[in-house]
């Protein structure tokens, strides 16, 4: 787990929402003194209204931006659509969260998201949208463009959850679930690869 050390605090870079999607929280772990086995953990919470005042609802998507980038991508509804924000932890004397809005504005609600910077996937209106999102180290958007749109194969319910696998030695694969007992694996370009049936316990 990668963190940033400042004045004896390490940000675990785990940001999560509560059940209502209206509170964002991050955890900070003390790394001093090093002789102690257990380290105090501080949790910092911000209401969505305080962190992102222009939000008109709850968080629709929260994903960690990896691949050399530190931060989280958050999608929230605003008056003109769905706005994208980069949320980062800031470990100063008083640990806190910061949010920076990107230029891109999405039209439809986002049901799920996954990805690895700069490639992200979002579910909108039953379709999976693959987009290229480049954000520099300062949190400013440099590029955004929809690359491909596709759906799950067959007459099945739309996805409600996504996960991207990019393990070493394996080709990237996108996994999707749609509330049934099946898991769909697709190539990163959306071509169906395998349907995995989950047996009930």
Tell me which of 35-49, 108-122, 144-158 is least confident.
Answer: 35-49
Q: Is residue 156 part of a domain?
A: yes
Q: Is residue 36 part of a domain?
A: no
Of 164, 127, 129, the residue nearest 144 (C-alpha)? 129
Q: How far apart are CA 46 and CA 25, in angstroms?
A: 6
Question: Taking 50 as the threshold, does the pLDDT of residue 75 lie above it?
Answer: yes
Is residue 134 within 8 Å of residue 142, measured between CB atoms? Answer: yes
Of 119, 120, 174, 170, the residue nearest 152 (C-alpha)? 174
CATH of the domain at 93: 2.130.10.10
Question: Taking 50 as the threshold, does the pLDDT of residue 6 lie above it?
Answer: no
Please compute, for residue 76, the number of CA atoms within 13 A of its CA located in the half-sphere on the CB side: 29
Look-up of token digits 């929402």: 17
pLDDT tier for residue 5 given thresholds of 50, 70 and 90: very low
Q: Is residue 130 part of a domain?
A: yes
Look-up of token digits 């290229």: 132
Q: What is the pTM of this model?
A: 0.82
Q: Is residue 146 part of a domain?
A: yes
Is residue 71 within 8 Å of residue 86, measured between CB atoms? Answer: yes
Q: Which residue has the higher pLDDT, 33 or 2?
A: 33
- The pLDDT of residue 29 is 64
Per 3-state DSSP, the chain is made up of helix, strand and coil in percentages (nearest 5) of 0, 55, 45
- For the segment 29-57, the average pLDDT, to the nearest whole number, is 75
- For the segment 134-157, the average pLDDT, to the nearest whole number, is 87
Q: Is residue 44 part of a domain?
A: no
Q: Is residue 160 part of a domain?
A: yes
Q: How many domains does the chain have?
A: 1
Of 33, 60, 31, the residue nearest 48 (C-alpha)? 60
On average, the pLDDT of the chain sits at 82
Q: How far apart are CA 177 and CA 155, in angstroms?
A: 14
pLDDT tier for residue 35 given thresholds of 50, 70 and 90: low
Q: How far apart are CA 131 and CA 156, in angstroms?
A: 23
Tell me which of 26-40, 66-80, 83-97, 119-133 is least confident.
Answer: 26-40
Q: Give residue 146's domain range.
A: 49-197
pLDDT in tens, 78-110: 999 999 998 887 766 677 888 989 999 999 999
Q: Is residue 72 part of a domain?
A: yes
Give the rounded distance of the alpha carbon of 48 from its chain centre. 16
Q: What DSSP letter does each residue of 129-191 carry, written as one string?
A: EEEEEEE-TTS-EEEEEEEEEE--SSS-PPPSEEEEE--TTS--EEEEE-SSSEEEEEETTS-
User: How big is the chain by its Cα radius of gyration, in Å?
Assistant: 18
In this prediction, what percent of the chain has a pLDDT beyond 70? 81
Q: Is residue 25 part of a domain?
A: no
pLDDT in tens, 155-169: 999 999 999 988 756
- The pLDDT of residue 7 is 43
Question: Taking 60 as the threshold, does the pLDDT of residue 8 lie above it?
Answer: no
């Amino acid at each position: 787990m990668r963190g940033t050390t400042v004045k004896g605090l390490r940000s675990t870079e785990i940001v999560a929402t509560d059940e209502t999607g209206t509170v964002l929280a991050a955890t900070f772990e003390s790394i001093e003194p090093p002789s102690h086995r257990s380290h105090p953990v501080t949790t910092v919470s911000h209401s969505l209204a305080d962190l992102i005042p222009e939000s008109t609802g709850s968080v629709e998507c929260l994903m960690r931006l990896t691949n050399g980038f530190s931060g989280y991508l958050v999608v929230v509804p605003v008056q003109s659509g769905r706005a994208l924000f980069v949320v980062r932890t800031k470990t100063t004397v008083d640990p806190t969260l910061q949010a920076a809005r990107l230029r891109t504005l999405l039209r439809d609600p986002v049901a799920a998201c996954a990805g690895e910077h700069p490639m992200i996937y979002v579910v909108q209106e039953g379709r999976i949208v693959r987009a290229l999102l480049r954000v520099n180290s300062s949190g400013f958007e440099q590029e955004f463009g929809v690359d491909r749109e596709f759906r799950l194969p067959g007459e099945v319910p739309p996805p409600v959850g996504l996960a991207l696998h990019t393990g070493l030695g394996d080709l990237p694969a996108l996994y999707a679930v749609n509330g049934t007992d099946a898991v769909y694996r697709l190539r990163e370009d959306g071509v169906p690869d395998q349907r995995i049936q989950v047996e009930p316990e």
